[in-house]
Amino acid sequence: MLAYVNAVISGILIGLAYAIAALGLNLIWGVMKVINLSHGAFIAFGMFAAYMSVKLLGVSVYTSLIPIFVAGLIVGIVAFFVSLYRVLNAPELTTLLSTYSLSLILIGLGTFFFTTNPRAIDTHLGSITLGYSSISYSRIIVGLISLFLAGTLYLFLFKTSLGKAIRAVSQNPTAAKLYGINTTLVLSISFGIGVAFASVSGALIASLFPFTILSGGVYELKSFVICVLGGLGSPAGAILGGLILGLLENLLSLKMPVDYMPFIEFSILVIILLIKPNGILGRR
């Protein structure tokens, strides 16, 4: 029984971290109708950035989150101009392949520098005990930081003028342009924020689980599943989807080996696509 409680709490906490990753993907899709296939690569980037900060600079992984966010933002903006700026109006195929090629370059370089050996970050924080099971403090912190980030994104999108501009462009790019909004600026910053969120989520996940340069792909798949579950274009959906996935994973892992997860997640993806392609909360 207590194992279930533990699973539920863990599920919610990790679900929030997944939600942060998914929010990054979601924002980019919402604003420029591009599915960022380099999402996983940037998650891995965040993981390794956190690892290097801890190992080389001796900084706590939580302190590294801010520079990782900023780095992600800058790298994202650059990536936008390198791979997407010229091809935004091209057929969908082109943008898919563009971001995909980015991921190849990043993962290729990453494999070269870091090899595929697994790494881990130990936060030395200990845990709270609940009867016979325990929840590590690092999970709780990850959950809280994720909530904070989600809240900040909400405030940004709804209370700042740049945020409003981003929402305007995502609803009607032409009209936004006519209102004098610099769409290039908006698009590049949106992509930057998306990448920043991916990177930070990678750092957060790295504080909890071991990872390799190839782990990004696994979390990218989870992000896709979440976005499809919650509905592409709905930030609330991303959070809802994240929680659902987190819960599902933790509850199922009580019954079956974790190796089956990608298969199950993929099956969920296909089933949702069949029954409710716009997701639970989505708009087209």
Partner 1 sequence: MQKGYTLFWLLPALIALVIYPIVTNNVMLRETVFLILLSITLSISLNIILGFTGYVSFGHIVYYGIGAYFAFYLMYAYKVSLIVSIVLGGLVSAAIAFVLGQAVLSLRGAIFAIATIGVNEAVKSLINNISILGGAMGLYFDFSIYDNYGGALKAIWLSYYLMGTLTILSVIAAYYIKKSKFGLGLFSIREDQDASAVLGIKTKLYKSLAYATSAFFPAIAGGIFAFKAGNIEPSGAFNLVKSIEMIVMVMLGGYGSVAGSALGALFYEKIKSILLVMPYVKDLHLAVSGLILLIIVQFAPSGIVGFLTKYFKNLRKVLE
Rg (CA), the chain: 18
- Of 143, 155, 171, give the one whose Cα is nearest residue 239: 143
For residues 147 and 56, what is the distance between their CA atoms, to the nearest angstrom?
28
**Binding to partner 1 (CB under 8 A): which residues in 181-210?**
none
Binding region for partner 1 (CB under 8 A) out of 78-86, 145-153, 172-180, 247-255: 78-86
Distance of CA 234 to the CA centre of its chain: 14
Contacts of 204 (CB under 8 A, 6+ apart): 17, 20, 65, 142, 145, 146
With vertex at residue 220, the alpha carbon angle to CA 234 and CA 136, rounded to the nearest 5 degrees, is: 90
Residue 64 or 83: which CB sits closer to partner 1?
83
CB 208 to partner 1: min, Å: 21
Among 242, 196, 218, CA closest to 45:
196
Q: Contacting partner 1 (CB under 8 A), which of 118, 260, 276, 283? A: 260
Binding part of the chain for partner 1, among 14-22, 101-109, 151-159, 242-250 by CB under 8 A, reads 101-109
Rounded to a whole number of angstroms, the minimum distance from the CB of residue 179 to partner 1 is: 28
Q: Which of 221, 252, 280, 281 binds partner 1 (CB under 8 A)?
A: 221
Report the SS3 class of residue 281: coil
Query: Of 6, 83, 123, 170, which lies in the binding site for partner 1, with binding defined by CB under 8 A?
Result: 83
Burial of 159 (0-12, 13-18, 19+ CB in 10 A): exposed
Please report whether residue 275 would count as binding partner 1 according to CB under 8 A: no
**Shortest Cβ distance from residue 47 to partner 1 (Å)?**
18
Contact flag: residue 283 with partner 1 (CB under 8 A) = no
Positions touching partner 1 (CB under 8 A) are: 35, 37, 82-83, 86-87, 90-94, 96-98, 100-109, 111-112, 217-218, 220-221, 224-225, 228, 257, 259-263, 265-267, 269-270, 273-274, 277
